[in-house]
Homo-oligomer: A and B are copies of this chain.
Amino acid sequence: MTTYTAINLVKRPSSGPISSELFEVVQKDMPNVAPGEFLVKQNHMSLDPAMFGWMSPDTNSYIPPVALGDVMRSSGIGEVVESNHPDFNVGDRVMGMMGWQEYFLSNGQGLNKADAPLPDETILSIFALPGLTATQGYFNVGNPKKGETIIVTGAAGSVGSIVGQLAKADGLHVIGVVGNEEKANWIVNELGFDSAINYKSAGLESQLEKLAPNGIDLFFENTAGPIQSLIVERMNAHGRVMVCGLIADYSKEVPSPGPSWVSVLKRRLTVQGFTMPDHFHEVPALLAKLTPYVMAGKIKHRSHILEGLESAIDGLNLFFTGENKGKLIVKL
Contact = CB atoms under 8 A, between A and B. Distances in A.
A326 interface: no
Contacts of A296: none
Contacts of A238: 278
A24 to B, nearest CB: 27
Contacts of A53: 266
Interface string A256-267: 111111111111
B273 A269 contact: yes
A274 B268 contact: yes
A261 B62 contact: no
Among A58, A62, A261, A272, max chain B CB count under 10 A is at A261
Interface stretch (A174-182, A191-199, A241-249, A304-312): A241-249
B271 A261 contact: yes
A178 B306 CA distance: 56
A273 B266 contact: yes
A61 B266 contact: yes
Nearest to A239: B273
Nearest to A271: B271
A228 interface: yes
A259 B262 contact: no
Nearest to A141: B270
A106 B221 CA distance: 48
Interface in A265-297: 265-275, 278
A60 interface: yes
B221 A266 contact: no
A249 B262 contact: yes
Among A58, A243, A249, A273, max chain B CB count under 10 A is at A273
A258 to B, nearest CB: 4
Interface of A: 53, 58, 60-62, 221, 224, 228-229, 237-238, 243-246, 249, 255-275, 278
11 contacts: A53-B266, A60-B237, A62-B237, A62-B266, A224-B261, A246-B261, A249-B262, A266-B275, A268-B273, A269-B273, A270-B271
Nearest first, the 9 closest Cβ-Cβ pairs linking A and B are: A257-B257, A265-B273, A264-B273, A258-B258, A255-B260, A271-B271, A255-B262, A258-B261, A270-B272
Given A224-B261, A243-B264, A268-B272, 18 more contacts: A58-B266, A221-B261, A244-B265, A246-B262, A255-B261, A257-B260, A261-B271, A263-B273, A264-B272, A265-B274, A265-B275, A266-B273, A266-B275, A268-B274, A269-B272, A269-B273, A270-B270, A271-B271
